[in-house]
Amino acid sequence: MDNFRITALGRRFGLSRSSLLYYDRIGLLCPSGRSEADYRLYSQADCDRLARICAFREAGISLDEIARLLNADTPHGPILERRLHELGQAILALKAQQRLIAGMLRTAASGPEATGLDPALWLELQHACGLDAAALKHWHTEFERRAPAAHHAFLVSLGLSEKETTQVRMLTRNIKDNTMSMRYFFELFENLPRQGPGCEEATLQALSLLKHLPARPVVLDIGCGNGLQTLTLARELKSKILAIDNHPPLLRHLDQAATEAGLSVETQEMSMIDMPFATEHFDLLWAEGAIFIIGLARGLQDFHKFLKPGGYLAFTEMCWFEADPPAEIRTYLERVYPDIRPIEKVCELAEARGYAVVDSFNLPAKAWWDDYYTPMQAHMQALKRKNTGISEAEAVYSACEEEAAMHRRHSASYGYGFFVLQKR
């Protein structure tokens, strides 16, 4: 059987010569023999003993404790050592996965065109790293909770559409299941009167705060949905409204409704990310229930450049109404909308982004129920019968039912604030 000199043994285990000399001095690992020139020689049994020492050291066991373990004669010792070795190998594999994923994130930041990293490849790499569906969901949930704007940017960098990106963020689903989830999500929401909380009274109240609009203002409705508020804007302002959304069926619904009402509305399929408009082009930007898609901070910053000096931005945003909300709703919103702020913090952020706050008010209860939750729940019951047993559909329905139940119990603690700002 081969013997190893101290230098060769050290290279094999990644240990310095001085470490092995120290192990010899304290009696932890003594060489089995000596060469004719009096060099230390380590046998295979010595190598096996050193492997055990290294495994124990990786586990954080002290040298004194290791000496006792090596000299103890416990019946279960070999079994526990094998398990310890398996755990050590698993930890090494996880560390390798961690480094790989970190590299993937850095690569993805350059975008799919530069790197060739698309959603399919990203999913394959995630699975290769040992991330199952539960781990992927947790990964996206944590990313969204800790850095929602960065999560959004990362998903867009993979080539996902804004709709797909929003759905991943809202349901924290992994990319593989996203297409199917989107199908059931839009099947539920397309035919609702509104795709989020709102009412005509709130739209009119916000319009009444605009004191210095020109006679025929240039107006953009961002994330218009099927456009109930767009029709109100066109009727009240007596001006053509440009309305953008990224879901064509909603735009077709708005086109038809505007034509039937004889109102001037132009619709365009467009993402609110990187809008191609000239700077200082609009007198009024309107964003009911939409600014959350790219995050309030980014929305305020991005929209600012499109407004003329003195132009207005009107939007709704989820806010805390109480300083100390109940634990149940606080925990829920930390999971589904961690970007929520008190109304005064929204105003502070707006002022820091170059706006003056004209006024703000809370949406009334009817804005949540008349055109949103009540018709949603009725439509959902029919869809549940149609899609019984389809897990992706049931996940959408479960999330929406939980949202409505939370608002029913805690509407005094949170809701939408309607903000009207003016560009300074």
CATH, residue 60: 1.10.1660.10
Q: Tell me: do 320 and 408 sit in the same domain.
A: yes
CA distances from 389 to 168, 190, 238, 367 (A): 22, 22, 49, 32
Reported as a single tens digit per residue, the pLDDT across 316-358 is 999 999 999 999 999 999 888 888 999 999 999 999 999 999 9
Does residue 238 lie in a domain region? Answer: yes
Q: Strands 40-42 and 414-423: what pairing?
A: unpaired
Does residue 96 lie in a domain region? Answer: no
Residue 269 has pLDDT above 50, yes or no: yes
- A 10 A CB-CB count for 31 gives 20
* Residue 423: predicted pLDDT: 97
Q: Tell me: do 245 and 281 sit in the same domain.
A: yes
Q: Are 363 and 288 contacting, i.e. CB atoms less than 8 angstroms apart?
A: no
Does residue 333 lie in a domain region? Answer: yes
Task: Name the average pLDDT for the chain.
Answer: 84
Reported as a single tens digit per residue, the pLDDT across 205-254 is 999 999 999 999 999 999 999 999 999 999 999 999 999 998 889 999 99
Range 41-61 average pLDDT: 87
Calpha distance 294→299 (Å, rounded): 6
Q: Tell me: do 219 and 366 sit in the same domain.
A: yes
Q: Tell me: do 170 and 279 sit in the same domain.
A: no
Does residue 95 lie in a domain region? Answer: no
Q: Tell me: do 116 and 262 sit in the same domain.
A: no
Give me the CATH number covering residue 253.
3.40.50.150
Number of separate domains in the chain: 3
- A 10 A CB-CB count for 413 gives 19
Q: Tell me: do 51 and 169 sit in the same domain.
A: no
Q: Tell me: do 127 and 261 sit in the same domain.
A: no
Q: Which of 124-138, 203-217, 249-263 has the lowest mean pLDDT?
A: 124-138
Residues for the chain: how many in total? Answer: 424
Q: Tell me: do 154 and 213 sit in the same domain.
A: no
Determine the structural domain holding residue 375 and report its residue range. Answer: 200-423
Does residue 327 lie in a domain region? Answer: yes
* Residue 291: predicted pLDDT: 92
Does residue 194 lie in a domain region? Answer: no
Q: Tell me: do 112 and 60 sit in the same domain.
A: no
Range 27-33 average pLDDT: 93
pLDDT band at 68 (very low <50, low <70, confident <90, very high): confident
* Residue 138: predicted pLDDT: 66
Which distant-in-sequence residues (6+ apart) come within 8 Å of 271 by Cβ? 161, 162, 246
Range 160-176 average pLDDT: 57
Which one of 182, 210, 238 terminates a domain? 182
Q: Tell me: do 178 and 204 sit in the same domain.
A: no
pTM of the predicted protein model? 0.65
Which one of 72, 98, 118 terminates a domain? 72
Does residue 84 lie in a domain region? Answer: no
Q: Tell me: do 177 and 223 sit in the same domain.
A: no
Which one of 30, 46, 72 terminates a domain? 72
Does residue 271 lie in a domain region? Answer: yes
Q: Tell me: do 245 and 288 sit in the same domain.
A: yes
- The neighbouring-strand residues paired with 242 are 220, 266
